[in-house]
Amino acid sequence: MSARENNRQKLLTRRAALLAGGQAVLGGALAARMYQLQILDRDKYAVMAEENRINVRLLAPPRGRILDRFGVPLADNRPNYRVVVVPEQTGNLGGTVDAIAKLIEVSEADRRRILRDVQRKHAFVPLVVRANLSWEEMARIEVAMPELPGVSIEQGLIRDYPYGTGASHVLGYVAAVSDKELTGDPLLELPDFRIGKNGVEKAQDLPLRGGAGTSQVEVNAFGRVVREIATMPGQPGKDVVLGLDAALQEFVVKRCSVEQSLSCVVLDALTGDVLAMVSSPSFDPTQFSTGLTPVLWQELSTDPRNPLTDKVIAGVYPPGSTFKPVVALAALEAGAITPDTSVGCPGYFSLGNATFHCWRKEGHGTMRLHDGIKKSCDVYFYETARRVGIDRIAAMARKFGFGSPVGLDIPGERGGTIPDRERQLALTGVAWQPGETVIAGVGQGSVTATPIQLATMAARLVTGRAVVPRLFRPEGRLVPSTDSRSPFPELGINPRWLALVLDGMNGVVNEQGGTAYAARINDPAMAMGGKSGTAQVRRISAAEREHGVRKGTAVPWKERDHALFVSFAPVNAPRYICAVVVEHGGESGGGGSAVAAPICRDVLTETQKRDPARRVPQPAIAEVVPAAQPLPPTRFDARRG
């Protein structure tokens, strides 16, 4: 062996040692990295591994029911059956859907949705073929299920309104959560979750909603549930009790169906409870929770009779003569008139160059307060208004709930307008004209009000207290009570003046010559008092007045007068209030006394027969109502990474 050879061997040995050293350094780096990952950062990665593995799913709580004052459900949950298919369990999805389509109707849109979803979702995620199965359809599927692998029937809950269209404006409806309504509450992000969109469903949405339950499941990387770790049941939504009387509501709906477009509200003047509230025409709230078709939506939103609007709270009309009690009280309180102040009515009233007509062309002759109200003499109130002035009328009107929302506990209430001099100047820059006061004296001009305001006015007239109507009864179902103390503060109006005005309103209905005498209730124990109103929608020109004002059906529907009636009963100890506004005078085209008063008569008669404010509830009705069932959990969520 040569020396060179030997040198080379030594070089190799040296370099092998270097190599080993390099390997040791790299090996050390590996060990250090493992120490860093597995010891130093262990907690962080352990948490990440758990987050990977454990998926918390929300369980939707069943929505609380809405009950009437006797416990009758107005909104409930009903099981909704749907047929689902798990793509991975069926050999051929298209074929399976075809087979289902032979048994039940499957629309082309549903078919497209299934074929689209199967591309986007994991094969183990069940796809809904069709929801809202009838019993018969369900039976057909169940019989065929052995031949249809991967097909099953799932039960969900859907909002149900047993009274259908009858209370839809009061109750509102539930529908899918829109992006704007997301608050960060994960419950709202559940695909099948519905929230209240209007009416009581919206106003009481939070208590009705309840609290979500959770289910902890272990999932694999594809989102498939491997096992359930823990389940925490949710808190079912609370039942909400309304002051409404479902049976009375049903009666009012039926009674009102004779007119095209109207609103009617019945109040308990003592408690402010809304006993019935109907706006017609209406809509079917169930269609909103199942999903509205575009055609139906188009129809509802373009109907000139505004079926989607609750006209009781959002219909704004000139109150017409129903406003006269307020004018009379303002004048009496101000001392502008006395009960014996007499005004001559020749059928018209002149102020400067302007002439204002009485509804009775030939005039009423000499009028005092009682007859002015009873016969609804316009000239009497023109003069009264002129004497008292707009500002005091406005102040009195606001005391009676006009000019701003009365505060009914559902969303959407409008305030109407009550003009005064300051407001007029600020709003238009034009000074208030005396003629406008005269027109305001008969509830026309810029005076507007909603039906709920008219009912509130009547409730305040008969109690002398600042009654605020309400739908929701925080105290729950009615309990038998003899307590007849009103929870509302006094208005501070001289009871003598109130009695005089009420006496006038008694005369309207119960005395011969009263405008609504034809609509009186013959049973003296149930007799009602009230005030009619006919609100002009169009201007009557001098030429037309010359040739005779066109009446009722001679005018297109949209231009006809509104017919109003505000009433209370029984007349000697008033408890129940009913206000009716028939838009554009109804079919017959008559005024308030002819069209609206008979509705009030029938509604108040029925209300007194039922006497919902004092009747002892029958517990049996409440108890047969099945308890709300828990919603099945939404079992699959979006895929995780």
Partner 1 sequence: MSLSADIGQRRLSLADKLRGIQWGLVILIAVICGIGFAMLYSAANGTLQPWASRQMTRFAMAFVPMLLVAIIDIRHWFRSAYWIYAVALVLVVAVDLRGFVGMGAQRWIDLGVIQLQPSEIMTIGLVLALARYFHCVPNENIGRLSRLIPPVLMTMIPVGLVLKQPDLGTAMLLLASGAIMCFLGGVKLRMFVLGAAGAGIAAPIAWRFLRDYQKTRLYTFLDPEQDPLGAGYHITQSKIALGSGGLFGKGFLLGTQTHLSFLPEKQTDFIFTMIAEEFGLVGGLILLGLYVVVIGYAFAIALRSRSLFGRLLGLGIAANFFLYVFINTAMVMGLIPVVGVPLPLISYGGTAMITMMLGFGLLMNVGVHRDVRISRRGESELG
Shortest CB 25 distance to partner 1, Å: 11
Phi, then psi, of 285 in degrees rounded to 5: -65, -25
Is residue 7 a contact residue for partner 1 (CB under 8 A)?
yes
Query: DSSP 3-state assignment of 60?
Result: coil
Q: Cβ closer to partner 1: 36 or 572?
A: 36
Distance between CA atoms of 564 and 553, rounded to whole angstroms? 17
Shortest CB 35 distance to partner 1, Å: 7
Is residue 8 a contact residue for partner 1 (CB under 8 A)?
yes
Interface residue with partner 1 among 21, 37, 229, 523 (CB under 8 A) is: 37
Binding segment toward partner 1, per CB under 8 A, in 6-14, 297-305, 309-317, 591-599: 6-14
Q: Where are the beta strands (DSSP E) in 3-67?
A: 54-59, 66-67
Phi-psi region of 184 (alpha: psi -120 to 50; beta: other; left: phi over 0): left
Pick from 468, 573, 578, 467: which is nearest to 532 by CA? 578
Chain position carrying tokens 């505004």: 306
Largest separation between any pair of C-alpha atoms in the chain? 152
Interface residue with partner 1 among 16, 115, 232, 296 (CB under 8 A) is: 16
Using CB under 8 A, which residues numbered 210 to 229 contact partner 1?
218-222, 226
Shortest CB 17 distance to partner 1, Å: 9
Q: Are the C-beta atoms of residues 488 and 272 closer than 8 Å to each other?
A: yes
Interface residue with partner 1 among 21, 31, 206, 230 (CB under 8 A) is: 31
Is residue 12 a contact residue for partner 1 (CB under 8 A)?
yes
Write the interaction track for partner 1 spanning residues 40-69; mark x where CB under 8 A is met and - where it is not: -xx-xxx-xxx-xx----------------
C-alpha distance from residue 581 to each of 91, 531, 561, 587 (Å) = 63, 12, 11, 13
Shortest CB 639 distance to partner 1, Å: 10
Binding segment toward partner 1, per CB under 8 A, in 3-11, 306-314, 370-378, 583-591: 3-11
Pick from 323, 273, 321, 280: which is nearest to 303 by CA? 280
Write the interaction track for partner 1 spanning residues 582-621; mark x where CB under 8 A is met and - where it is not: ----------------------------------------
Shortest CB 125 distance to partner 1, Å: 17
Shortest CB 14 distance to partner 1, Å: 10
Q: Is the peptide bond before 233 cis (omega within 30 degrees of 0)?
A: no
Phi, then psi, of 89 in degrees rounded to 5: -95, -10
Is residue 573 a contact residue for partner 1 (CB under 8 A)?
no
Q: Cβ closer to partner 1: 14 or 551?
A: 14
Shortest CB 55 distance to partner 1, Å: 11
Pick from 336, 457, 459: which is nearest to 396 by CA? 457
Is residue 230 a contact residue for partner 1 (CB under 8 A)?
no
Is residue 35 a contact residue for partner 1 (CB under 8 A)?
yes
| H/E element, 216 | strand 213-219
C-alpha distance from residue 586 to each of 518, 534, 535, 590, 598 (Å) = 18, 12, 13, 7, 12
Q: Is the peptide bond before 630 cis (omega within 30 degrees of 0)?
A: no
Number of residues that bind partner 1 (CB under 8 A): 42
Is residue 362 a contact residue for partner 1 (CB under 8 A)?
no
Q: Active-site residues: which are they?
A: 321
Is residue 33 a contact residue for partner 1 (CB under 8 A)?
yes
Binding segment toward partner 1, per CB under 8 A, in 22-30, 318-326, 381-389, 416-424: 22-30
- Cα-atom radius of gyration of the chain, to the nearest Å? 36
Pick from 140, 134, 127, 125: which is nearest to 80 by CA? 134
Chain position carrying tokens 């539930």: 174
Q: Cβ closer to partner 1: 230 or 525?
A: 230
Q: Cβ closer to partner 1: 9 or 338?
A: 9
List residues near partner 1 by CB under 8 A: 4-5, 7-9, 11-13, 15-16, 18-20, 23, 26-27, 29-31, 33-35, 37-39, 41-42, 44-46, 48-50, 52-53, 218-222, 226, 641
